[in-house]
Amino acid sequence: MKKLLIILTSIVVLVVGAGLFISSQLDEARLRTLITEMVNEQLNVELRINGPLALSIFPTIGASLEGIHLSTPDNPDRDLATADTMRIGLRAGPLLQGNIEVEEIVLQNFSLELERDVGGHANWEGIAISSEALETLPDAEPAAPNEPNEPSEPEPVNQTTANSTPSVAIEQVLIKNGRVSFKDLHAKTHYELSDMSLETANINTNGIPFNLAFTSVLKVNQQPAHALAFTGEKLSVSAQQIDAGNWSIQGPGVNATGRARAQGNTASATFSMQANLIELLTALDQPLPDGVNQDLLADVDWNIALSSVGDNITFDASTLRLASTEINMSGNADFSDIPILNLNISSPLIDIDTLLPNADDDDNQPDSSAESDAAAPAKPASTSAAKSTSAAQQRPQASQSPFKATVTASIDRLRASGYEVSDAGMHLIATPQRLNLRSLNAAMYGGTLEANAIIDQQPGKAGFSANATLDGVDVGQLLVAGGQTIEAAGTVNANLDLDAVGDDPNQWINSLKGPVNFSMRQLELKDIGAEKLLCTALAALNQEPLTQTFPENTSFKDVDAQLMFNNGTATINTLDAEIPNLRVRGDGTVSLANSRLDTVFTANITGDLEELDPACRVTRKMQSIDWPITCKGGFHEDPSEWCRITKDDLTLITTKLMSDKVINKVEGKLKKLFGF
């Protein structure tokens, strides 16, 4: 407001000063010289009036100018602003009482050329209002400060108080065919508003409502032009408050409406926006964000109501919808020192998979060049991962502004990486370089999940840590959610305590460390027949064909295991499983980086497999030896092809059995010869 008064006062000085001489100086050339000298002196500019000029004194102090050119002393040959026609009229009576009442301000074919050079210097920087012009402004009485956290009560307009500051009223403002251009040679951007039209009536600072309408065409760099419009109804301004009334904005990809009011140190606002952010960013020639699924940006609906007292803002209600994802928010923010944000979030469904961009299919495929019976060598990081790592290393750290955000969330359904939990409650704290998930409690596939995690981006400490407990979770649903082709039934209890270093998930996978313990009850693996696998080997040893049909699935009574991750590869420290007629133990590795399994399980025959097929009969010796079962393969390969008894395994078993028979024969002969 003060800046507006300064500009209007400068105009008043211009017109009144010219009027003082009008009675004695009627020559147009003399008037033109007088006006240009006054403006140049007051604003430190170079003004030229190339067209006709006319002045009036009473009852309206007015000026009509044509062919206006404005430049700066540093670049007098290049126009900063031009206008074919400018008319301004002030009522003389109110001016004598210290108030400013403008009858009209009209600009036709107006153009403003703003530019910043490659060194960051702007062509308008030299413009400054002189100290003489500033001295003509009356000083307003400073408002008494409000008590902290106490909103000022609205008061009726007091005419005496209002008269202590000069009132401003503009009966009509009309801009036709305006143009504003801003070239930033340093950033290599060019913004242009053309075909500008601004029309309003009865602008005032007395609290009387007025309307405003603005239309233009926006063009950014080489992008197509887009229509832009702003309308405001029942706007009002007074010494006590500003009321934005009802306003609306229509632009490329955006349709927004709202209300706003400010009084003293209190304010309130409502806002509603429907947007296609892809269209908006394209029109502004801005890159689309890398870390968000762009499909969501095409359908955004945001409604918010907020209020503020001093440095405190309260979000009374806010609903954000991104395509099918809807988030309801409330909370408050304190900007008195370090910004502190407290949010309560609820949502029927948050699908993090849809919020993130779709990964390339190639990034998820295992290394097909690896030999089927050998562990695949570690793959180098993908190009995208290398780029993200490089970007993370180049990311400036010190420039981040401090803040603290505390979020409490209640989510009916939460999806992430294919997994889904329900009735999720979480509490997290975020700062610029640290995200702390203090707690997550949810129902998960018939069981429960409890977890906490920290993601750290501090220099030298980048990484994450996580602790989670699963209780009674359905194994089959868990595997399907994880994208595994293996089918299973049963429940799992598990706990993990993992950590990793790095700036992104690719680095985390390759540096993952920590234990994972789990136990499964009533586990059944589909299409993996352990008994058939072992009977096939027994039939080969017995040199008899199998004649019976075997179960295609394997049913376990119990499975208990402990894995230890180190640099993204899990070593099976212990694995103990029991199925009918068999007990299985195992060791080996599971590589997350290569998405491969490389393990050898040892089976001991605990029952009589001859019941399944006569060719499966076993001797006591067969029951006493360890039967190796090699399991290797990619996570995305057919699980039925993972496990087998190889020819080498069968040869070792045969050799062991034959060696034992020879030893038994030798021992028998020795007993006969020597009697022991």
Q: Per residue in 457-483, pLDDT tens?
A: 878 778 889 999 999 998 888 888 877
Tell me what pLDDT residue 36 has.
85
- Whose tokens are 């670049």? That residue is 75
DSSP symbol at 186: T
Q: Phi first, then psi: what are they for 138, rounded to 5°?
A: -75, 145
Tell me what pLDDT residue 652 has.
66
Q: Phi first, then psi: what are they for 500, rounded to 5°?
A: -155, 165
377-400 mean pLDDT? 42
Where is pLDDT greater, at 345 or 98? 345
Tell me what pLDDT residue 170 has.
86
Work out the widest C-alpha separation in the chain, in whole angstroms.
153
CA separation for the pair 182, 190 (Å, rounded): 6
Query: pTM of this prediction?
Result: 0.65
Q: Where are the alpha helices (DSSP H) in 218-293?
A: 277-283
Give buried/exposed letters for 166-202 (b at 16+ CB in 10 A, else e): bbbbbbebebbebbbeebbeeeeebbbbeebebebee
Could you tell me which of 298, 280, 288 has the C-alpha nearest to residue 220?
280
140-158 mean pLDDT? 44
Tell me what pLDDT residue 291 has.
67
Question: Count H helices, E strands: the chain?
Answer: 14, 31
> Tokens representing 586?
């195992």
Strand partners, 269: 260, 306
Give every CB contact of residue 675 below 8 A, 6+ residues apart in sequence. Answer: none
586-595 mean pLDDT? 72
Could you tell me which of 602, 517, 592 has the C-alpha nearest to residue 561?
517
Tell me what pLDDT residue 361 has.
39
Could you tell me which of 307, 304, 284, 410 has the C-alpha nearest to residue 350?
410
Tell me what pLDDT residue 657 has.
63
CA separation for the pair 235, 261 (Å, rounded): 10
Domain borders along the chain are: 1-134+167-181, 527-676
CA separation for the pair 435, 452 (Å, rounded): 11
Q: Does position 223 have pLDDT exceeding 70, yes or no?
A: yes
Question: H-helix or E-strand containing 6?
Answer: helix 2-22
387-408 mean pLDDT? 60
pLDDT tier, 494 (very low <50, low <70, confident <90, very high otherwise):
very high
* Inter-axis angle of helices 2-22 and 28-43, nearest 10: 150
pLDDT tier, 24 (very low <50, low <70, confident <90, very high otherwise):
very low
3-state helix, strand, coil split of the chain in percent (to 5) is 20, 45, 30
pLDDT tier, 566 (very low <50, low <70, confident <90, very high otherwise):
confident
Q: Does position 645 have pLDDT exceeding 80, yes or no?
A: no
Tell me what pLDDT residue 102 has.
85
Tell me what pLDDT residue 392 has.
42
What is the SS3 assignment for 92? helix
CA separation for the pair 65, 361 (Å, rounded): 67
- Whose tokens are 């009374």? That residue is 316
What separation in angstroms does the CA of 466 have from each of 79, 301, 435, 510?
Answer: 62, 34, 12, 16
Query: In this structure, are residues 351 and 330 in contact, taking their beta carbons and an 8 Å threshold?
Result: no
Tell me what pLDDT residue 388 has.
40
Tell me what pLDDT residue 364 has.
41
Tell me what pLDDT residue 451 has.
95
Tell me what pLDDT residue 630 has.
76
CA separation for the pair 67, 49 (Å, rounded): 6
Could you tell me which of 52, 67, 649, 92 has the C-alpha nearest to residue 373?
649
Give ∠ CA 616-559-485 in degrees, rounded to 5. 85
Query: In this structure, are residues 507 and 529 in contact, taking their beta carbons and an 8 Å threshold?
Result: no
Query: In this structure, are residues 232 and 221 in contact, taking their beta carbons and an 8 Å threshold?
Result: no
Tell me what pLDDT residue 11 has.
52
> Tokens representing 128?
């400054």
Query: In this structure, are residues 558 and 490 in contact, taking their beta carbons and an 8 Å threshold?
Result: no
Q: How far apart, in Å, do the first and last CA atoms of the chain sit?
A: 117
Tell me what pLDDT residue 164 has.
53
Query: In this structure, are residues 173 and 203 in contact, taking their beta carbons and an 8 Å threshold?
Result: yes
Q: Look at strands 419-431 and 434-444 and give their pairing.
A: antiparallel
| pLDDT tens by residue, 606-630 | 777 778 888 888 777 777 777 777 7
Whether residue 151 is preceded by a cis peptide bond, meaning omega within 30 degrees of 0, is no
Amino acid in position 557: K
The torsion angle over the Cα atoms of residues 354, 223, 122 and 79, rounded to 10 degrees, is -160
The torsion angle over the Cα atoms of residues 200, 203, 209 and 213, rounded to 10 degrees, is 20
Give every CB contact of residue 212 below 8 A, 6+ residues apart in sequence. Answer: 198, 199, 200, 203, 230, 231, 232, 235
Q: Look at strands 100-116 and 168-184 and give their pairing.
A: parallel
DSSP symbol at 547: -
623-652 mean pLDDT? 71
Q: Does position 366 have pLDDT exceeding 50, yes or no?
A: no
DSSP symbol at 139: P
- Lowest mean pLDDT across 299-313, 328-342, 539-553: 539-553
CA separation for the pair 410, 422 (Å, rounded): 10
19-43 mean pLDDT? 70
Tell me what pLDDT residue 402 has.
87
pLDDT tier, 127 (very low <50, low <70, confident <90, very high otherwise):
confident
Tell me what pLDDT residue 365 has.
41
- Lowest mean pLDDT across 174-188, 208-222, 327-341, 471-485: 471-485
Give every CB contact of residue 42 below 8 A, 6+ residues apart in sequence. Answer: 10, 13, 14, 129, 130, 132, 133
Mean pLDDT (the chain) is: 78
Query: In this structure, are residues 370 and 596 in contact, taking their beta carbons and an 8 Å threshold?
Result: yes
